[in-house]
């Protein structure tokens, strides 16, 4: 039996345009990294501001030990995921590498940045319609990757001070660098904690812009990071009619 559809549904289906932007490894990295960051921020906060000391047998009061274990485990998984994401930038589609190569030498890119800033400030009526990341999001994600590397270096530097494993020995050079600049281990901890708050601010801005674009732009955003496809919500010319 043939399936009947309304003329409106047929028209919407004919006008639908989708682009496969985020491949499965990129989406998997994104959501696993989200989980890791939430765990790292919660446990990291309590490592910096420990629970009140309680007298008693340590076997039954090993709360901070478990918090540190979860923090270190999430940090190692976070590192592996980042390395996997860097690898996929070489073997994936061109959308997978646009976060690592920011074309600051192109005038058109800076024009795109200025256009997006005006769009976010409600000074432009229409979004740019970028299929991948727009220039502002591209620059923000590139900054996030740099901050992630900084957090990995300082985090493992702190861990290396109490670890005898050879794999963490190279991170002691980070500790030595801080001592060479006149600092100490507490300074590493302070910078590491500052990085946590900066990433927290990035998350707030990232979520806001994703929801805002999903509501106000012509393209899907949040669902794209679930199914990988970026689709136009309006056919060409219909967006202007809806907005008018």
In a domain, 122, yes or no: yes
- pLDDT in the model for residue 83: 96
The Cα–Cα gap between 68 and 181 comes to 28
The whole-angstrom separation of Cα 88 and Cα 99 is 12
User: Does 128 reside within a domain?
Assistant: yes
Alpha helices in 92-134 (DSSP H): 107-120
Most confident among 4-13, 127-136, 197-206 (mean pLDDT): 197-206
2 within domain boundaries: no
The percentage of residues in the chain with a pLDDT greater than 90, rounded to a whole number, is: 39
pLDDT of residue 67: 92
What is the C-alpha to C-alpha distance for residues 71 and 63, in angstroms, rounded to an integer? Answer: 12
Q: Taking CA 99 as the corner, what is the angle to CA 199 and CA 223, rounded to the nearest 5 degrees?
A: 80
pLDDT of residue 164: 81
Give me the residue label for tokens 């050879």: 166
Q: Does residue 116 lie within any of the structural domains?
A: yes
Structure tokens at 184: 């100490």
> Who wins on pLDDT, 59 or 154?
154
Please determine, for residue 86, whether its predicted confidence score (pLDDT) is greater than 90: yes
Q: Rounded CA gap, 153 and 199, in Å? A: 15
Q: Provide the pLDDT for residue 16.
A: 57
Query: Does pTM surpass 0.85?
Result: no
- Residue 96 carries which DSSP code? G
**What SS3 state is found at 230?**
strand
Give the integer Cα–Cα distance in Å for 74 and 36: 6
Count up the domains in the chain and report the number: 1
In a domain, 242, yes or no: no
pLDDT in tens, 37-85: 999 999 999 998 887 877 777 777 788 889 999 999 999 999 999 999 9
Question: How much is the mean pLDDT over the chain?
Answer: 84
In a domain, residue 6? The reply is no
Q: What are the counts of helices (DSSP H) followed by strands (DSSP E) for the chain?
A: 9, 2
Q: Does the pLDDT at position 98 exceed 60?
A: yes
Which residues constitute the domain of residue 75? Answer: 20-52+60-231
Q: Are 148 and 82 in contact (CB under 8 A)?
A: yes
Residue 220 pLDDT exceeds 70: yes
Q: Write the CATH number for 162.
A: 1.20.950.20
Within-domain flag for 244: no
């Amino acid at each position: 039996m043939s399936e009947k559809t309304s003329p409106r549904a047929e028209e919407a289906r004919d006008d639908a345009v989708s682009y496969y932007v985020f491949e499965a490894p990129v989406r998997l990295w994104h959501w696993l990294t989200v989980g890791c960051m939430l765990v790292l921020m919660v446990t990291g906060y309590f490592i910096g501001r420990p629970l009140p000391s309680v007298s008693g047998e340590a076997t039954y009061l090993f709360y901070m030990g478990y918090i540190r274990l979860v923090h270190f485990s999430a940090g190692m998984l976070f590192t592996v995921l980042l390395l996997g994401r860097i690898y996929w930038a070489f073997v994936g589609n061109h959308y997978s590498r646009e976060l690592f190569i920011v074309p600051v030498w192109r005038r058109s890119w800076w024009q795109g940045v200025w256009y997006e800033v005006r769009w976010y400030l409600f000074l432009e009526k229409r979004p740019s319609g970028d299929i991948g990341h727009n220039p502002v999001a591209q620059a923000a994600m590139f900054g996030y990757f740099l901050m992630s590397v900084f957090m990995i270096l300082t985090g493992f530097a702190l861990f290396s001070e109490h670890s005898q494993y050879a794999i963490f020995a190279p991170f002691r050079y980070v500790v030595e660098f801080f001592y060479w600049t006149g600092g100490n281990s507490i300074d590493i901890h302070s910078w590491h904690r500052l990085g946590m708050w900066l990433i927290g601010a990035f998350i707030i801005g990232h979520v806001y812009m994703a929801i805002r674009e999903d509501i106000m732009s012509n393209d899907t955003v949040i669902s794209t990071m679930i199914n990988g496809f970026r689709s136009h919500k309006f056919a060409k010319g219909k967006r202007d009619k809806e907005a008018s």
